[in-house]
Structure 1
Amino acid sequence: MSMVYDEYGRPFIILKEQQSKNRVKGIEATKSNILAARSISSVLRTSLGPKGLDKLLVSPDGDVTITNDGATILQEIQVDSQVAKLMVELSASQDDEIGDGTTGVVVLAGALLEQADHLLRKGIHPIRIAEGFERAAGVAMKRLEEISEKMDINSNDHEALVTTAMTTLSSKIVQQNKRMMADIAVKAVLNVADLERNDVNFERIRMEGKTGGSLEETTIVNGLVIDKEISHPQMAKVIENAKMCILTCPFEPPKPKTKHKLEISSKEAYEKLYQNEQQYFRDMVQKVKDSGANLVICQWGFDDEANHLLLQNQLPAVRWVGGVEMEHIAMATGGRIVPRFEDISASKLGTAGRVREISFGNTSERMLVIEDCASSSAVTVLVRGGSKMLVEEAKRSLHDAMCVVRNLIRDNRVVYGGGAAELACSLAVSEYADTVTGVDQYAIKAFAEALEDIPLALAENSGLSPIEEVAAAKARQVKENSHLIGLGLDIEANEEGFHSADMKEHGVFETLCGKQQQLQLAAQVVKMILKIDDVISMGSYQ
């Protein structure tokens, strides 16, 4: 620090290395990072479980989103802390890989960081804590495989898939219609699944939403639903045995890409120009008719003159179809996207059993349904709801359910929900901690306590007494561990007054791969946060 004076003789102080004074290093930096990450976990904790609360998110543009999906919440909120962004990426990773459990993985990571903070206060080094957590995660992963059970997903009309999808939907806004929604999710996935290779092509599943109805009106269509309508009200609204010409070129004369000037000085010249333009339109329509097409799907628009000419030639058309929809139509119908009219041929047409236009209520809103597609088993889920926010949340819920069904087709092993799997892992990790000597024992026991935070949050969000309920369930698991590994928390109380129940009897299942992914990702991110002892802005360190 030094004292200097300005031109008026007034003193002021210069602080050297001012940026370094704002930096926190060592254990204090680790504790600061833990606090930032736990703030994200505390936001999502109340949204966990079947009784979890929703969040209302308002964007800077005024758009409103209501959801309890962890990945969606973290995508919408603005996070300034770089360490807190790791928690956002953690939830996104779980969503990309599994599709479900995005809230649970953040809550688990937050519980691990809380336990790590207690250990840091005892003087244990962050590296020893991270190593202990890694060892404990390995024990928990092994325990999950031991308690997992294989489900016959093909028996009883795929009832196992429906039951697992219902577990996912129990915490969503569509829980009152979860049986119907689970059936839709299972049918959609099975229509595009290859059960021999245990693979599901999600690109063949589309979800469209339309406000104005109720959730009970949500349907699945064996084909495609496009949010477009026939371009002219007098064109045919139902086309049987449709042969579609899929165009990415507009129905209009070509326009020069450079500056041009056209002078018309007489009536004859104007009529000649008009006739040439009409002839160009007629040639385009004739090329489509000659190929045998009875429906035109155009990516670009065309004016009323071209629309009227298509009507005269009894050629229904759809305009302004998006590029993604064009690709889906081409894949589903076996057609080829045609960029120029000169390339149109019968071999490039897409075929479908029927194309029809549907309307909703007494409004002018219409959509196009393409059924019985020739090339693939594409399906579309048409979601209805009373508001746009409800429709969007229902679409997110169905996507999570479909991801769980896909995961069960890939790996048919399941564990039991309601906190049963976490309690079983917690008991196994505690037993393993008793066999370990040294400082690592504290970290391993802390991991076991962090696993109990999931059932604690489930009980707390259900309005129950968290410690009493979890203690009762844990005691019953220890007492009857040989045959009651699926004991977790339920809404209804048992004869002892507690809410512990066998999740196997209640049909509460979760995929093994989803639970293992939660443990693995949470342990990795916590290890990364514990090993950060300084945050340096690029270019500021000297």
Structure 2
Amino acid sequence: MQAPVVVMNTQTPGGERQFGRKAQLSNITAAKTVADIIRSCLGPKAMLKMLLDPMGGIVLTNDGHAILREIEVAHPAAKSMIELSRTQDEEVGDGTTTVIILAGEILAQALPQLERNIHPVVIIQAFKQALTDALKIIDEVSVPVDIDDDDAMYQLIKASIGTKFVSRWSKLMCNLALKAVRTVTLDVGSGKKEIDIKRYARVEKIPGGEIEESQVLDGVMLNKDITHPKMRRRIENPRVMLLDCPLEYKKGESQTNIEISKEEDWNKILQIEEEQVKALCDAIIALKPDLVITEKGVSDLAQHYLVKHNITALRRVRKTDNNRIARATGATIVNSPLTAVASDIGTQCGLFEISKIGDEYFTFMTQCKDPKACTILLRGPSKDILNEIERNLHDAMGVARNVMWNPKLCPGGGATEMAVAVGLERRAKQIEGVMQWPYRAVAEAMEVIPRTLIQNSGNSPIRVLTELRAKHAETGEDGESIGSSWGIDGDSGKCVDMRTYGVWEPMAVKEQSIKTAVESACLLLRVDDIVAAKSAKQVSGPIGGGGEE
């Protein structure tokens, strides 16, 4: 069966192009349709979507990005909306559903402004102004966090995965995400950190076992077995050598053909081959490694020499895995054994071991001293469940990474959005002229997040939203808002103070989602013409000429 197709045609039934108001209307409708698809996926009471992919497999998830990735759309505006969730996922790893719902709502609120005949450029100007003010409000409601305090970090990551499938094992998942991110954090000097979870924190999914058996290894795991049965399967404190060249006879570069007339010549060629392989192996043996890992092949002859000197070899290891091993063991990847020196050997690994899990053999290189790369081993009943856990873990690691970069938190549960909505509404009164209307529209659009949370929990949006608005409108004696941390409890759909309820989100996620949503809305409003480009078939004539002028 094919993936779910949400068809929104770019052309009107008559086939004429769309321009002006018609094009803007068409874009706004498309954006709203995409937002409506995943609106029910927000919050802890989120519904799941079942997607059928073209290969006949199914995906069960409530992760906005995973859903939109599978959906096939025809409308260009809808495509650009789907790109938003990808941007959000790449940048901050969380808030993918939020950003789509916000962008859809901002565009929906822009429609009445267009009907009032306000020029799109004026609307965009007001939106940009509102975005600047919104970012200031987020900064005001945010609080700093101590990234070394485990409890505070757990609370935070829990908010990210509490709405997902793995919320039952949230303590375990928080542990995994936090440990993985801390492992791959690298100080690059001048107070900056490099946290590359994509390259150095690999998730390995092995069906079978309990979900509770999942763990972050202090090292690397590969789906590989040794190349020769006599090689050692367990080495303590191995000396590791990493290569990205084959331990085989190097044949001539340009498809060399050799014709042999005498038998001795044949023996001579074999001898040259042997000598070449022996020279490579001797260079390796001189450095006394216990373990040789290469990205290319290892010939039988090379295996023979290595076994003789009690050296274990692994071959055809992926380049990405080799990079992770290099970070974990402190080894340097060498282009040729002949140029290797003693300092290229990695000695930080505590244990090399090959274990059988299920039907397959896995290589474990663990107990590394201060590894800067790790493997997260996930166990679970079935492939589908493991895939969903991996998606949720990705979000959790994204949250941990963002807080390490920018240690500030905003209240969750729609509290930040509501604070922005109330703050913008207050500031709108000082804006003169026609720009006040579209500025207000952004404030109204922000309320969509708490409203959707209330709807998804099955409560009455009107009553609870009014109560929440009243809480946010309360001001202290100095005129400052004092209710800005009130949000929605996604389970019961009631107003709660997020400071006591304990749902916090990284400021980076909130800022990114509002920036992305507003800027994409501005982009789509700028479009006043949708033209289908002419396909190659329509262009006639000898060299593409001769068509219509």
TM-score category by the smaller chain?
0.7 to 0.9
Decide which of 454, 461, 464 is 1:466's aligned counterpart: 461
Q: Is the 8 A contact 1:169 1:397 kept in 2?
A: yes
Paired position in structure 1 for 2:509 = 514
Pick from 126, 135, 141 the counterpart of residue 141 of structure 1: 135
Provide the residue aligned with 1:223 in structure 2. 219
Aligned to 1:150: 144
Deviates more, 1:179-188 or 1:126-135: 126-135
2:519 to 512, 524, 531: 524
Q: Does 1:43 align with 2:42?
A: no
SS at structure 1 position matched to 2:98: helix
Aligned equivalents of 2:305 and 2:59: distance in 1?
44
Secondary structure of the residue aligned to 1:489 is strand
Q: Does the CA-based 8 Å contact 1:222-1:371 persist in structure 2?
A: yes
Give the unaligned 5+ runs of structure 1. 1-17
CA distance in 2, matches of 1:326, 1:491: 44
Say whether the 8 Å CA contact 2:65–2:85 is kept in structure 1.
yes
Deviates more, 1:331-340 or 1:213-222: 331-340
**What's the CA shift for 1:277?**
4.6
User: Deviations for 1:465-491, whole angstroms, at most 9, x for unmatched residues?
Assistant: 333332332233334775432211114
What percent identity do the matched residue pairs reach? Answer: 35
Contact 1:228 1:368 in 2 (8 A): yes
Larger mean Cα displacement after TM superposition, 30-39 or 70-79 = 70-79
Contact 1:192 1:205 in 2 (8 A): yes
- 1:266 offset after TM fit, Å? 7.5
> What is the match of residue 411 of structure 2?
416
Report what 2:349 is aligned to: 353
Once the two structures are superposed, the pairs formed by residues 279-318 of structure 1 within 5 Å of their partners are 279-304=275-300, 306-318=302-314
CA distance in 2, matches of 1:392, 1:174: 11
* Counterpart amino acid of residue 423 in structure 1: M
The change in CA–CA distance for 1:153 and 1:442 in structure 2 (over 3 A counts) is same
Quote how far apart the aligned CAs of 1:423 are: 1.3
Query: In 2, distance between residues paired with 1:182 and 1:198?
Result: 24
Q: Which of residues 240, 243, 265 is equivalent to 1:244?
A: 240
Contact 2:220/2:373 (8 A) holds in 1: yes
2:152 maps to a residue whose letter is A
- Return the offset for 1:47: 1.4
The answer for the alignment partner of 1:398 in structure 2 is 393
Q: Is 1:502 matched with 2:494?
A: no
Work out whether residues 351 and 374 of structure 1, in 8 Å CA contact, stay in contact via their aligned partners in 2.
no
Q: In the TM superposition, what are the counterparts of 1:319-338 in structure 2 within 5 Å?
A: 319-338=315-334
Alignment partners' CA distance in 2, 1:451 and 1:70: 18
SS at match of 1:209: strand
SS of the counterpart of 1:326? Answer: helix
Of 95, 111, 115, the match for 2:109: 115
Q: CA deviation at 1:145?
A: 1.6
Q: Contact (CA 8 Å) 2:25, 2:111: kept in 1 or not?
A: yes
C-alpha contact 1:247 1:297 (8 A) present in aligned 2: yes
Distance 1:132 1:271 in 2: 83
User: What is the aligned partner in structure 1 of residue 77 from structure 2?
Assistant: 83
CA distance in 1, matches of 2:185, 2:334: 29
Structure 1 residues 136 and 283 mapped into 2: Cα distance closer, same or farther (>3 Å)? Answer: closer
Deviates more, 1:106-115 or 1:18-27: 18-27
Question: Are 1:229 and 1:367, in contact at CA under 8 Å, matched by a contact in 2?
Answer: yes
Q: Secondary structure at the match of 1:351?
A: coil
Q: Which moved more, 1:308-317 or 1:165-174?
A: 308-317
User: Aligned AA for 2:317?
Assistant: V
Is the contact made by 1:229 and 1:357 (CA closer than 8 Å) also made in structure 2?
Answer: no
Pair 1:66–1:376, CA change in 2 (3 A)? same
Give the TM-score taking structure 1 as reference length: 0.87
Task: Say whether the 8 Å CA contact 1:211–1:385 is kept in structure 2.
Answer: yes
Aligned residues: 518
Counterpart CA distance in 2 for 1:284 and 1:151 is 54
3-state DSSP class of the match of 1:207? Answer: strand
Amino acid at match of 1:50: P
Matches within 5 A, 1:18-29: 22-29=16-23
Q: Does the 8 Å CA contact 2:93/2:398 hold for their aligned counterparts?
A: yes
Given that residues 191 and 379 in structure 1 are in contact (C-alpha distance below 8 angstroms), is that contact kept between their aligned partners in structure 2?
yes
Q: Which residue is 2:120 aligned to?
A: 126
In structure 2, list runs of 5 or more residues that go unmatched.
1-11, 536-547
Q: Deviations over 1:318-365 (max 9, x none)?
A: 11101111222223333232223322332322223334234354x231
Paired residue type of 1:146? E
Paired residue for 1:235?
Answer: 231
User: Offset of 1:296 from its aligned partner?
Assistant: 0.8
State how far apart, in whole Å, the 1-side matches of 2:254 and 2:225 are.
34
Q: Among residues 90, 93, 105, which one is paired with 2:87 in the alignment?
A: 93
| Distance 1:310-1:58 versus aligned 2 partners, 3 A rule | farther
Q: C-alpha distance in 2, partners of 1:197/1:372?
A: 28
Query: Is 1:182 matched with 2:177?
Result: no
Distance 1:427 1:231, change over 3 A: same
Structure-1 residue corresponding to 2:378:
383
Shift of 1:428: 1.5
- Alpha-carbon distance in structure 2 between the residues aligned to 1:263 and 1:21: 68
Indicate how the Cα distance of structure 1 residues 353 and 26 shifts in structure 2: closer, same or farther if over 3 A, else same. closer
| 1:397 partner amino acid | N
Q: Is the 8 A contact 1:238 1:354 kept in 2?
A: no
Aligned residues: CA RMSD: 2.9
For residue 335 of structure 2, the aligned residue among 319, 334, 339 is: 339
Tell me the distance in 1 between the aligned counterparts of 2:375 and 2:309: 31
- The 3-state SS of whatever aligns with 1:359 is strand
Rounded Cα–Cα distance in structure 1 between residues aligned with 2:448 and 2:278: 71
CA distance in 2 between counterparts of 1:21 and 1:400 reads 43
Residue 237 of structure 2 aligns to a residue whose secondary structure is strand
Q: Could you tell me the TM-score, scaled by structure 2's length?
A: 0.86
Change (3 A) 1:277 1:193: closer
**1:281: Cα distance to partner?**
4.1
Tell me if structure 1 keeps the 8 A contact 2:218–2:371.
Answer: no
